[in-house]
């Protein structure tokens, strides 16, 4: 009898054993895929493809900007910023490659407001990726050069398990193509709508929020604000959440205040809705709204008219359904605070009892248990 057979016999009385095995096998497969993908990224995407180059996301030109690259203060030595800027003109640069040269399109994944997304396989490495295809005519029509350059520079710079990886990008004559990590299970929003009651259990949500906090905490540590956290911008791969869509993200050195009006209305903080200065704490507000929606199936301030939603966000409170636990209510209230200074910090969120309560028993995010089982199954 093999070690795996012995383990299966011993644990066969546990009704969750089969589910655990399946989860571990999925994670094991995902780890191997990530290892292969990393090798591919380092070894292939920096090389010539035929006689043309695919430009890695991190090979971007530095551009001076009053907002993004302030002059050093007196006594401070100049230093290179960790996030470089892609020049807007570079987004509309000449042809570097074509999709058909490098990739085999597998299937159409979805259509966004400005782009189409496809599952594709790299012909050389056989790695499965997602291709986000944006027509240059659309970029020019809507003046998206700056937003797209922003998405490329930030998403290409970030490297975290809970953030969707941008491997690189290239251009055809009529398109810009982003080469992205493929998320096997799609959007969190679609998964939410598939639930029998259009909501998740609190245990599931707690595990999801913990992962999002880890990703957002990493972004904040790099002085980057996401500014558009919502279920549509969170993807899933074998229960591992991936924060995506950095088009509205911004580099915010030294915790400077921002003034740009942006984001999705239902997740917009009061300070953005009211046109006031804001900082990274707008992401913490959005995480509180996200936790509410994942637990209840709806956002707390929703109204049919956007103006009414914004007024409620600025001036009104909200109520919880009766089935929500007191711990969950406390967690959401601690983030959905109209005064940004009163919102929990990243550290406080991770220490909150509602997050800690499910950490060890959660089958979604119990790392130690799953890692141990993966080793046993190898």
Report in angstroms the alpha-carbon separations of 197 from 201, 204, 304, 359.
Answer: 10, 14, 22, 24
Three-class SS state of 240: strand
Annotated binding-site positions for ATP: 113, 132, 181-183, 232-233, 245
Three-class SS state of 48: strand
Annotated catalytic residue, options 228, 308, 339, 368: 228
Q: In the chain, which ranges are E strands?
A: 48-49, 52-53, 55-56, 103-111, 116-122, 128-135, 166-171, 175-181, 224-225, 234-237, 240-243, 250-251
Catalytic residue status for 28: no
Tell me the DSSP string of 133-184: EEEHHHHHHTT-HHHHHHHHHHHHH---TTB--EEEEEE-SSEEEEEEE--T
Which one-letter DSSP state was computed for residue 224?
E
Annotated binding-site positions: 113, 132, 181-183, 232-233, 245
- Which two structure tokens, joined as six digits, stand for 347? 């550290």
Tell me which residues are annotated as active site.
Answer: 228
């Amino acid at each position: 009898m093999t070690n795996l057979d012995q383990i299966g016999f011993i644990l066969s009385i546990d009704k969750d054993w089969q589910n655990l095995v399946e989860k571990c096998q999925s994670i094991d497969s995902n780890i191997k895929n990530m290892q292969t993908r990393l090798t591919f990224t380092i070894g292939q995407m920096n090389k010539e493809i035929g006689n043309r180059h695919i430009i890695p996301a991190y090979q971007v030109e530095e551009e001076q900007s009053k907002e993004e690259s302030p002059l050093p203060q007196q006594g401070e030595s100049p230093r290179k910023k960790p996030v470089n800027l892609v020049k807007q003109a570079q987004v509309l640069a000449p042809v570097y490659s074509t999709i058909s040269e490098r990739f085999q399109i597998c299937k159409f994944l979805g259509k966004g407001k400005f782009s189409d997304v496809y599952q594709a396989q790299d012909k050389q490495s056989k790695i499965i990726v997602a291709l986000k295809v944006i027509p240059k005519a659309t970029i020019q029509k809507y003046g998206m050069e700056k937003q797209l350059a922003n998405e490329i520079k930030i998403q290409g710079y970030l490297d975290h398990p809970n953030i969707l990886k941008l491997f690189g990008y290239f251009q055809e004559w009529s398109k810009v193509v982003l080469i992205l990590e493929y998320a096997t299970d799609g959007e969190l929003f679609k998964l939410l709508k598939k639930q029998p009651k259009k909501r998740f259990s609190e245990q599931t949500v707690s595990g999801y929020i913990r992962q999002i906090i880890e990703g957002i905490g990493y972004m904040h540590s790099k002085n980057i604000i996401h500014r558009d956290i919502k279920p549509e911008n969170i993807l899933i791969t074998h229960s591992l959440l991936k924060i995506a869509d950095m088009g509205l993200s911004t580099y915010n050195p030294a915790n400077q205040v921002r003034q740009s009006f942006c984001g999705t209305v239902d997740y917009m903080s009061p300070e953005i809705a009211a046109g006031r200065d804001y900082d990274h704490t707008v992401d913490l507000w959005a995480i509180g709204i996200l936790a509410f929606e994942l637990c209840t199936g709806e956002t707390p301030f929703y109204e049919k008219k956007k103006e009414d939603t914004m007024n409620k966000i600025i001036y009104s409170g909200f109520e919880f359904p009766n089935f929500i636990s007191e711990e969950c209510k406390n967690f959401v209230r601690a983030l959905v605070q109209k005064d940004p200074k009163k919102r929990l910090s990243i550290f406080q969120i991770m220490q909150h009892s509602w997050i800690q309560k499910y950490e060890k028993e959660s089958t979604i995010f119990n790392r130690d248990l799953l890692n141990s089982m993966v080793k046993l199954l190898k």
